[in-house]
Every structure is written in C-alpha cells, then in structure tokens.
Structure 1
Amino acid sequence: MLDIQVRFSLPIAYQNAFVSLHDREHKVDFHLKEGTHVAQSEYVDLGVVDRVEGRRLLGKFSFEYTYEPDRHVVTVNGTDFDSARSMCLTTVPEGTSEFCRQRVTGGGFVADDLTSNPRWNYVTPLTPGLRDVFKGIVRTVNDRVIEALQEQPHLIVQVRKHPPEMSAEEHQKFLTVYRDGQFQGLHQAGRQYGPGEQVFTVDSVFGGEVTLNYGEAFANVIGSTNDPKIAGLTWIQLWANQFNTYPVICTSYQSNGFGCGNSLVGGHVIAGQHASVVAQGSNSVWIFPICVQHNNNDNVYMQALKYLKGIWLHNYMG
C-alpha cells in the first residue's frame, strides 16, 4: 500500500447568491494498492449551495493509476493529459444525488460529467467562472499528487503525457518500422515495404515522462540498437524536444569510474543493473541521454546522476 496526502486551497475566493466556497486549506488522502485501480479520496467540505436549501457542497477526487511495487514504479496521468481516467473532482450537494464531475482537462463526456440536474449544475450563467475555479482545483491536486509521489523514497514515477508538438517534417522523422513485432529501424521515405511490415507514428509508443531517484541504477535494452546512428540522434532529439533543453553530458557521467565520451544518443534503457531483452508490449522502457560508450556496452550498468527525467515508452515494440 502506498499512502500520500496533498493539500489545496481555492485559487481564488468565490461567492455569489447561489454558491459560496470555503476560503481555507483542505487536505485529501489517497491509498494506492498493487495493480491498476481508481484512487478515491473521502469527501471534503467545499462550501454551501444556497440554491439547494443551503446544503453543504461536498467534493471528492479520483484518478486512475497503476502501482507495481515489485518494480517500485507508479504510473499516473499528467495534468495536461486529456483522458477520462485523469484526475476528476466530483461535487454533490449533501443529501442529494445530483453529481457533477470536473476533469483536469475536460476529458470525458459532458452529458455524463455535467448532468442535467434540476438544481446543481455549475455551468450556467448563475455561477459565472465557477467551472474555472473547479478546474484550477483539480489541476492543483493532480500536480501535488505527482509531486508527492516523486518525493517518495525509492519510487519511480511514470507520468502519461502527450508527445511534444512537432511539425509534419519532424513527425515524419519519428516513424518506426516493425516486422512481425520486431523493430526494424526508422522509416525511409520512398522505400517499398512488404505486407508483413508496419509503420507506426511516435504517438503509438510515446507514454510520457519518467522521474528517477538520484543514483537510480539502469541498464541498456538489448536488441534496440540495430537502428542506424541517425535513429539514436532522433531519439535524443525527441528527449530534447520534450524537456526543452539539449543534453550536453551523459546521464551516467563517469559513474563507477566509467570513461564517458562526448557523443550522446537517446539510449533505450530499463531499471536495474543488468542489460536485458525486453518483451514486446512492455511499458518499462525509457529514453535517457547517454554516451555512445555506455550505449555500446551491455556489461555495465548506469546511474541517474546528471538527468533524472526521461521519456517513457508505452507498449514498446508493440
């Protein structure tokens, strides 16, 4: 079981003739267990709905996660990741069944999330700006959940995010080719591909970001280096695009006395001290900037010393 607590208060005070929100700090607890589940907080007292007989307005938070204690990995959705499974605030006037849901980016179904309740519906001219207040609360709670997870000792946090924005020309550079589920390299314009070969966009493998603990051990993925050198440069450019900076040094620079060079690639790596082949469809592969010497040596492991954030690949070679 993984337990975290986060605190939040209103981004701005809100009060009118229909709804009043408490201007005070709230705390919410989440309990994460092994597997993929939906974490739910207890209800908190947000304020009063004057238009519903002055009843208390209660709210609870929920989000989907995957917790793998054997790998010390937890996966959650990022604050800007548009999904019906992202952080959600469910509000209800006490003693009624008139639920409304506010999601972190608006993902989901409006007809279900903002139901046609006869009295409680905050997306009306009677409550101007209230939806923005709730959206701000949800985003704050989601950010603080991620921060709380990243502060947990010995826990690796994977955060689902959308790929960085790219031009059509850049996007084409990240097309990958698979044959019978095996990675063949990057797509080559003008080349004719056979019926057993499939071309995938970066969206199909980009999971988001991963944050490692300082000194976390990781090792090469065996079987991912058969792409030409330009592919390595492409992966490192994807990392640079995601984090808005170009790496200038190996993530594991001189770890355990290893002689790092100055040429860097975006290395396919996994947690642990042993290089390994990774099963098709795995969600455990990351991209980190590493030197060519580390990338070509499967007999040593690396450590997260210079960069703690990497790209997480979803459904690797799937």
Structure 2
Amino acid sequence: MLSISFSLGSHIAYHVPSLSLTGTGHQLQVDFEDGEHVFTSPDFELGTIHSMKDTPLLGRIIFRYTHSLEEGIVNITVCDEDYESADGMTLMTFPKGREDASCFERSSSAGFAADEIHRNGYWNTRSPLLPGASQLFKTIARDAARAMIEALAAKDDIILSIRTPFPEMPYEEYQQLCLVYRDGEFLCTYDQLDPLEFKGNFEIWDVFSQLDGTAQLPLNATFANVIGSTGDQIPGGGSWVRLWSRETRRPANTCASFGFPTSVTRCVRGARLVGGHIILQRTAQRVRRGSNSVRIIPICSAHNHTSFVNAMEARAERWVVVLKNYHNP
C-alpha cells in the first residue's frame, strides 16, 4: 500500500452574516490500495453556518484513482486539476449531521450546475447570501488536487500518471489535425487530404486516440526504445519532442538518459534531441499496434538510433507523454 499526506483547506478567512470559514488548514493522509477506487476522506471542519444556529460546516474530499503494477512498478493514475471529469478532486460540504444537504465543488467543471444550484434549500454554496463561497470551495478542491500530485511526484519509486485535458483549439484548426485512414491504413492528416482522392473506405479519427496524459517515471527507471516506431503519426503535427514539451509544460534541453550507459556518453554531448518512443523494458522491442504501453521522452539521437537496443535510465528527465492506441486508431 502506498501512503502520502498533504495539507488542504483554505488559508483565507471568510465571513458574511450567514457563514464564517476559519481559514485553517488540515493534514490529510491518503492510502492507495490496489485496483480502481474512490477515495473518501474523513470529515474535517471548515467553519460555522450562522444562519443555521451556528451549525459546524464540514468538508470531505472525494476523488477516483487507479493503483496498478507495470513491470513490477506501482503506477498511480489521478486526474489533473483541470481535467473535466467526475473522477477528479471534489470537495463535499454539508452542515454537521445533514449529509442529505450536501453540496459539491469540483476542481474542474463537471456535472450540471443547475442541479447543484437547486440541490436543496437547507445548505447551498451558490446562494446569494454566500457571495464568493462556491469559488472559494472550488479553490480548495483545486489546491488539494495540486498538493496531492506534488506529494505523489515526490515519490521516486512509482509511476505517476496524470489524466490531463486536451488543449482547446478552433474547430477549423482541430479538423486539420485529424488523421485520415483508408481501408485500415494511415493515409494522411486531414489538411493534406486531396478531395479528389476521397474514395474508398475512409475513416477520420481525432487525436484523442493517441494522447493519454502525462506521467512521471521513477528515478533511474529502466526503459528501452520501441522498434518500428518510425512512421507513427504525431498528434498536432510538428515533432515528438515539441509535443512532449507542450504536454508536460517543460523545456526539452537534455537527454533523459544522459551519461548512461557510458558506451554512448561520448556521442550524447551535442547530439540532437528527439522525442523517443519508449517502453519500460531492458531491451528494445517491437510493440503491437493499439498498445497503451508506449511513452514519449526526450532522448538524444545517439540513444534513439536503431542500433541502440540496450537499456536506458530516467536520470536527467523523468516526465513522459503517454500514448494511447499506439500506431493505430
């Protein structure tokens, strides 16, 4: 079982005639069990509801996670604070003794706002009598999501997989990046499609079929090249290393396996960085189409060479982009 602890709660006091929030933080311990679970925290006190005979206001944190093993390494999957899903970090608030009057604020928009507004008349965070309260509770949920991810990222011996939202873009631009397949074989991106050739059994796929968030590998995790990845289409165009920088929000300025093994050290300095297709194995291997085990990490052209089939280690960089449905929609 993996355990972490982090602080949550608002450090900003809030006071209106109907409600007071103390602005006190709370320490929360999360024990991750094997499998897919919904974590529900113990109740903690947020403040006092004056309009209800000074009834204590309680809070409860809820989120879904997955705990699995990949090549013997613990893999924890959670939602980014901007990932719009009911699985994301949620703050449940309710008057003490009245769980039936609960309200929910999620770290990112999810569900139906009207349902929350009209949930009950006993306790409602969106009441005009509580100006700004719902946004404050949303901030608590977002801060909790970030604190949890930071606590997990501090673990050097696990894979931390984060479900992240796909960047929004205008419809016209998005359409141009879709992938066109004919008779099950990749043909081109939509912007390169010749209307005169639009014949036969065509299928158009969006890039959701190829990106599945980001992940942080364990320190010095072993990985190897994917044989046969040449030709895998890049979601959004450009290069794989640019895609890695965009999705991880990190600069690609060094080879992840810099200095290891020593046999390629002399080739690494000054070598061009690329976004390499990798798997968590000790030797380079072919991977079946449609696999969800392929990741992208910046490595130098010396490590990425077809002749390099040995193991590399996540030393200078540990963050990867996770591919879904590798090489095949």
Same fold (TM over 0.5): yes
Q: Answer yes or no: is the 8 Å Cα contact 1:217–1:271 preserved in 2.
A: yes
Q: Do structure 1's residue 81 and structure 2's residue 87 form an aligned pair?
A: no
User: Which of 148, 159, 162 is the matching residue for 1:159?
Assistant: 162
User: Which amino acid in 1 is paired with 2:15?
Assistant: Q
CA RMSD between the two structures: 2.9
1:43 alignment partner in structure 2: 43
Unaligned residue ranges in structure 1 (runs of 5+): none
- Deviation by residue 1:154-175 (Cα, 9 ceiling, x = unmatched): 1110111123456778756754
Q: Answer yes or no: is the 8 Å Cα contact 2:207–2:235 preserved in 1.
A: no
Higher mean Cα deviation, 159-168 or 28-37?
Answer: 159-168
Closer/same/farther in 2, CA of residues 306 and 174 from structure 1, 3 Å limit: farther
User: Which amino acid in 2 is paired with 1:86?
Assistant: G
Shift of 1:40: 1.3
Q: Do structure 1's residue 270 and structure 2's residue 314 form an aligned pair?
A: no
Unaligned residue ranges in structure 2 (runs of 5+): none
Higher mean Cα deviation, 230-239 or 8-17?
Answer: 230-239
SS at match of 1:215: coil
Q: Answer yes or no: is the 8 Å Cα contact 1:11–1:136 preserved in 2.
A: no
Work out the CA distance in 1 between the residues paired with 2:89 and 2:220: 30
Shift of 1:138: 0.5
2:259 alignment partner in structure 1: 254
Work out the CA distance in 2 between the residues paired with 1:297 and 1:11: 55
Q: Do structure 1's residue 137 and structure 2's residue 133 form an aligned pair?
A: no
Work out the CA distance in 2 between the residues paired with 1:113 and 1:267: 45
Q: Answer yes or no: is the 8 Å Cα contact 1:29–1:42 preserved in 2.
A: no
Q: Answer yes or no: is the 8 Å Cα contact 2:182–2:200 preserved in 1.
A: no
User: Which amino acid in 1 is paired with 2:44?
Assistant: V
Q: Answer yes or no: is the 8 Å Cα contact 1:233–1:265 preserved in 2.
A: no
Q: Percent identity?
A: 34
Work out the CA distance in 2 between the residues paired with 1:175 and 1:254: 38
Work out the CA distance in 2 between the residues paired with 1:226 and 1:139: 39
Closer/same/farther in 2, CA of residues 280 and 155 from structure 1, 3 Å limit: same
Work out the CA distance in 2 between the residues paired with 1:271 and 1:15: 52
Closer/same/farther in 2, CA of residues 122 and 225 from structure 1, 3 Å limit: same
Closer/same/farther in 2, CA of residues 240 and 174 from structure 1, 3 Å limit: farther
User: Which amino acid in 2 is paired with 1:150?
Assistant: A
SS at match of 1:255: coil
How do 1:87-236 residues align onto structure 2 when only pairs under 5 Å count? 87-96=89-98, 97-164=100-167, 171=174, 174-176=177-179, 184=186, 187=189, 189-191=192-194, 192=197, 195=200, 198-227=203-232, 234-236=239-241
Closer/same/farther in 2, CA of residues 164 and 190 from structure 1, 3 Å limit: same
Shift of 1:67: 1.0
- Deviation by residue 1:78-121 (Cα, 9 ceiling, x = unmatched): 01111121100111111111011000012122244444312200
SS at match of 1:120: coil
Q: Aligned residues, how many? A: 317
Structure 1: 4+ residue segments shifted above 6 A = 167-170, 179-182, 228-232
Shift of 1:247: 2.3
Q: Answer yes or no: is the 8 Å Cα contact 1:11–1:137 preserved in 2.
A: no
Q: Do structure 1's residue 310 and structure 2's residue 320 form an aligned pair?
A: yes
SS at match of 2:10: coil
